[in-house]
Structure 1
Amino acid sequence: MSDQLPPPGWYAAPHANNEQRYWDGTQWLEQPPAQKTPNRLQAMASNVSSKHDHAGDTDTIWSAVGKPITGIGGGRYKLTDEYLFHEKGTLSTKAQQIRTADIYDVDSAQSLAQKARGIGTITLYAQRGADQERERVVLEDVPDYREGVNAINRAAHTARESRRVRENTQHVNYAGGSPIVTQSAPAAAPSPAFDLNAELAKLGELKAQGILDDEEFRAAKRQLLGL
């Protein structure tokens, strides 16, 4: 006869009319013991991180999820051609966005603690308008942060160039003419003042020859002068 106890599982418990009970190795139970669940905040943080993982978005150039040492409340970052989205918080999320064309400087840093964990901090500076204050945005505890710096710099440079071209085009359209046409005009072309004087002289000659009377001369002169 062996004194070895059976492994945990469902068995017909003694004196239970052949009904099965769960043996956990030390005692009989109606149901198996509940499995140990992850910490509630850790599970919530994991769920939020997966929910805000933008790596699969078609317009995403670069994305990252911050990895703070606590594992809770890391920022979520997404870069597109036009915007940099940054969110921070677990229970209450603070989401913001900034145009890539407004970003004029990007820097990075890495503390000793971050270096040991392979993460870093990205700091960028932006100005939303010529009359607006400069803004400082910090992306903390970012994995592969150097890749993020390069991606943000490239997107910001491209967006600024596109804005410059667009603004120049709008200025030309507003002016109502093409600078190329003006520059290509013959250098010897007479000025408007010279043309007007020549036409007035011709009218004087016509009047002197008796081709135009006084009334016709005055009417033609007013027409030339735009009166």
Structure 2
Amino acid sequence: MTATMLFFEKGVLSTNAQQVPVAHVLDVDLRQSIMQKGRGVGNIVVQVQRSGGVEWVILEDIPDPRGALSIINKVVQDARLIEQQRSNTRIYANLPSVAPGPQAATVAPTPPPAVAPDPIEQLRQLGQLRDAGILTEQEFANKKAEILSRL
């Protein structure tokens, strides 16, 4: 059993393995005969909602059946809570960022005029990069020549 699925299989000569989403479990019961009580085992009966209807699954001779029943019920309860939260959650998208009201004409702001970078400041920063070891002497010389050519 995981937080989302109940796995079970049955058979000795051939195996019938199935899995059920725990959110589809409708009911879980414990059945225990006198013989099973003496051996400390029991049958757990799980009622499952399938696409074709309701199905009963019997997990036979489960050790500590009350503990197993408690675990299954807890996982099923948690899964139902998660499903309920999902169904109660609404996702809103593309909502206006302001409350609706009279529409005012909007004018896109004009971007500030582009300011040419200061070549002296660029050379100073370039020198700092070279002094920090980030640029090689060759990279520094190439970029310096490029900046000075724009003057």
State if a TM-score over 0.5 links the two structures.
yes
How would you bin the TM-score normalised by the shorter chain? 0.5 to 0.7
Instruction: Kindly indicate whether residue 80 of structure 2 is the aligned counterpart of residue 156 of structure 1.
Output: no
Q: CA RMSD in A?
A: 2.3
In the aligned structure 2, how far is the partner of 1:135 from the partner of 1:176?
39
Q: Provide the residue aligned with 2:61 in structure 1.
A: 141
Give the drift of 1:107. 0.6
Greater relative contact order (Cα < 8 A, sep 6+): 2
Q: Provide the residue aligned with 2:88 in structure 1.
A: 168
TM-score normalized with structure 1 length: 0.39
2:29 corresponds, among 82, 107, 111, to 107
Moved over 2 A (4+): 175-178
The letter of the residue matching 2:3 is D
Give the drift of 1:115. 1.4
Structure 2, gaps ≥5 residues long: 103-151
Change (3 A) 1:133 1:150: same
TM-score normalized with structure 2 length: 0.58
Structure 1, gaps ≥5 residues long: 1-78, 179-184, 186-191, 196-227
* Partner SS for 1:134: strand
In the aligned structure 1, how far is the partner of 2:42 from the partner of 2:83?
30
In the aligned structure 2, how far is the partner of 1:101 from the partner of 1:177?
32
Larger-Rg structure: 1
Length, aligned pairs only: 99
Change (3 A) 1:164 1:112: same
